[in-house]
Amino acid sequence: MKRGLEVESGGCKRCGSEASVKSGRVRGLQRYGCKECGYHFTATPPRGKPAAMKALAR
């Protein structure tokens, strides 16, 4: 099951801080800005992983 709110940002992808704020959208994805380092990133849901599916299928 997916819980959208739980994986809202996943934390900063540069410094790992969870202190991120919403910073608009880009290409339909929610964009976040890190409060700690100012890094901007988008929340990409971890789904549709071919490698993981292969591993499970075998």
State the sign of the Cα–Cα–Cα–Cα dihedral 35, 18, 52, 48. Answer: negative
Q: Which residue, 17 or 44, is less far from Zn ion as judged by CB?
A: 17
The answer to whether 32 touches 44, Cβ cutoff 8 Å, is: no
Q: Which of 25, 46, 23 is nearest to 34 (CA)?
A: 23
Residues 11-40 close enough to bind Zn ion by CB under 5 A: 12, 14-15, 17, 34, 36-37, 39
- Which range touches Zn ion (CB under 5 A), out of 9-17, 22-30, 45-53? 9-17
Interface residues toward Zn ion, by CB under 5 A: 12, 14-15, 17, 34, 36-37, 39
